[in-house]
Amino acid sequence: MAMNALALIVALFAPAHPALKPSIQYTLRVDSTDLSGWTVEIRLRTVSDTFRLAVAAHPEYDDRYWRYVRNVAVEPSGTVTRVDSAVWHFSAPEGWVTVRYRVALPPPEPGLRAAWRPYLTPTGGLIGGPHAFMYLLGEEQMPVAVILELPRSWDVSTGLRDAFRAPDQGRLQRANQRIWGYAAVDAASLMDSPILVGQLRQWRFVEGGVPHRVVYWPLPNAASFDTTAFVSGIQAVVHQTIALFGGASYKAYTFLFQDGAYGALEHPSSVTLGAPSADLARDPHAALAETAHEFFHTWNLMTIRPVEYRDIDYRTQPPVTSLWFSEGLTMFYADLLMRRAGIQPSDATRTAHLERLMSRYVANPAYGRFSAEAVSRVAYNADPGSLGDYSASTHLQGELIGTMLDLTIRNNTDGQRSMDDVMRLLFNQRRAIDGHVIEQTVEAVCGCDVTPFFDAHVRGAAPLDFNRYLGLIGLTAHVTTGPAVFNGEPERDLRIWGWEPQGERGVRLVISDPSSAWGRAGLHSRDQLVALNGAAVATWPGLRAKLQSLHLGDTVRVQVRRPSGPFEATVVVAGFERPAVRIERLPNATVAQRRLAEAAIF
């Protein structure tokens, strides 16, 4: 059915759509003859002669796309003033006004692209979200309409609601463009719904009575892969996740997979994921662990939200203390739900998985020095080196804490309950979480006192005593220490890395363990690198290449600058010791303990 753009706008505002009463309408236009960016037009009705628009900051990945906004203008004639890096102030006569601007995309990153960042190619791209749309400050709750004007051969997939009742009405044509209409209930939903466009492959399935779409954007030279196995693996994980929570937290869900990209970002009703077709050709489940992780975040982060999370804001997200739970338990379930779905993750068994995590934990002194909450607070939006000469992963620390709590609950309830019940209770209560809410919920499920545990490991920095918890299910861990080995060769101590801070020239160092050769030589995180063996090094790839070329026994002079003045360290490249954890069954394990272990898939 053909309609013109005016009829589309009338349809969007028509009373037949009681859910849609937008007084903000966005039009995003992509012109196939100029893929350097897109133009946005915001039509809104004002009740004052001034208003402000802002670029939202994502709580995890603030890409600061206000840097790429160009040619901001308002009609009828008014003035535009940038009052903050991310905020524009407008003055224009009250009533209907139109704001126009262009987003000029930055040059592509070298290598694989980050799957959550926008891009445009002749066969499609990723648009929308805070990379495209500004929001009206003070009117964040207002529903919005979104019109996309895209090259005619392109398809669209997004978590935004289709603004038309029949799917074939969503395709209006004008010249070489096709016009699509969408709606969002508020500004936060608009920002949290990226839009994948172009030549897309799509599949559908229903789980929990809710429609799910799997969408794949292939590169023109994409490798072919087993799409039946790819989609059925995702469906199996979706089935297990909905079974765990007892229901979906959304009305429809879209997986937005992209070829030639890495990484992923969760949203309330969609997820962007990098899944190179060459990887999927080798293994159709290559992206499944990451998919399971991001999908689990739909509940554990997007719905069971940290108390510090805000709806929408242009300012950087303040530190969050419970990411050890939001990230760590999401890691825990990505592995567990794949096994429940009958698909083996990268570790052959759950025991091997736990051995690998524990080996990393005992090898890193940070976990005996920083509480889970302290590590959480620097997990997002903090510069590298925020823990001084230590590095820690809130994902790893949180997954191990979650595993030990799960064993505690299973033991205290004779296997009747587990962390599954904690997740379900938190989801049903829809409470914003912090350490105390999590602690109370664990206690409610377990019928036990976990305050000493939370004092020691969540609020405090005592390292986990694994055997105390493994013993509850008849297992024990042995730690052996030996020379670190990589690919059968003695491993060099290269426990140093660097980064290039924004607005600063050169590289700052990060020491990830003060007992490394680099830490012992007197180097510290945040030292500004000047030269290695007298040769200037100005970039992290430059430093990495020099580190990789070192041999055991080489001597390196590292010249740095720090507030107290210049410093030179001499480091002899050597091997180092690394602990390894092996888990065994206790010879005197009881039948009851063995049953608990089996239920936890150990």
520 forms bridges with which residues in the sheet?
none
538, 576, 397, 384 alpha-carbon torsion, rounded to 10°: -10
Using a CB cutoff of 8 Å and minimum separation of 24, what contacts does 555-559 make? 556/532, 557/531, 557/532, 557/533, 558/518, 558/521, 558/523, 558/529, 558/531, 558/532, 559/529, 559/530, 559/531, 559/532, 559/534
> How many Å apart are CA 449 and CA 405, to the nearest integer?
11
- Closest CB to Zn ion among residues 327, 399: 327
Nearer to Zn ion, 327 or 527 (CB): 327
Name the residue nearer to Zn ion (CB basis): 56 or 329: 329
Instruction: Give the angle 437-187-4 at the CA atoms, nearest 5°.
Output: 150
At closest approach, how far in Å is the CB of 306 from Zn ion? 12
Window 229-248: contact mask with Zn ion (x via CB under 5 A): --------------------
Minimum Å gap between C-beta 59 and Zn ion is 12
| Centroid of chain to Cα 238 | 18
**What is the Cα–Cα distance from 91 to 93, expressed in whole angstroms?**
7
Q: How far is the CB of 397 from Zn ion (least distance, A)?
A: 14
Alpha-carbon distance values, 33 to 29, 121, 156, 168, 317 (Å): 12, 11, 19, 26, 37
Measured from the CB atom, is 313 or 327 closer to Zn ion?
327
Nearer to Zn ion, 327 or 335 (CB): 327
How many chain residues are in contact with Zn ion, going by CB under 5 A?
Answer: 1
Partners of residue 198 on adjacent β-strands: 124, 155
Closest separation between CB of residue 342 and Zn ion, Å? 24
Nearest CA to 401 out of 511, 347, 325 is that of 325
Omega before residue 76 within 30° of 0, cis: yes
| DSSP β-ladder status, 210-217 and 253-258 | parallel
Smallest gap, in angstroms, from Cβ of residue 294 to Zn ion?
Answer: 7
- 315 to 344, contacts with Zn ion by CB under 5 A? 327
**Least gap, CB of 317 to Zn ion (angstroms):** 14
Q: Which of residues 327 and 355 has its CB atom nearest to Zn ion in the complex?
A: 327
Q: How far is the CB of 263 from Zn ion (least distance, A)?
A: 10
Tokens of 550: 């070192």
Closest residue (Cβ) to Zn ion? 327
Closest distance of CB 238 from Zn ion, Å: 17
In the complex with Zn ion, the residue whose CB is nearer, 86 or 275, is 275
C-beta of 155 vs 327, nearer to Zn ion: 327
Which ranges constitute the DSSP H helices of 262-342? Answer: 277-282, 288-297, 323-340
Q: Which is nearer to Zn ion, 277 or 381 (CB)?
A: 381
Largest CA distance in the chain: 83
- Rounded to the nearest whole angstrom, what is the least distance from the CB of residue 529 to Zn ion in the complex? 31
Q: Which helix (H) or strand (E) element contains residue 99? A: strand 95-104
Interacting residue ranges for Zn ion, rule: CB under 5 A:
327
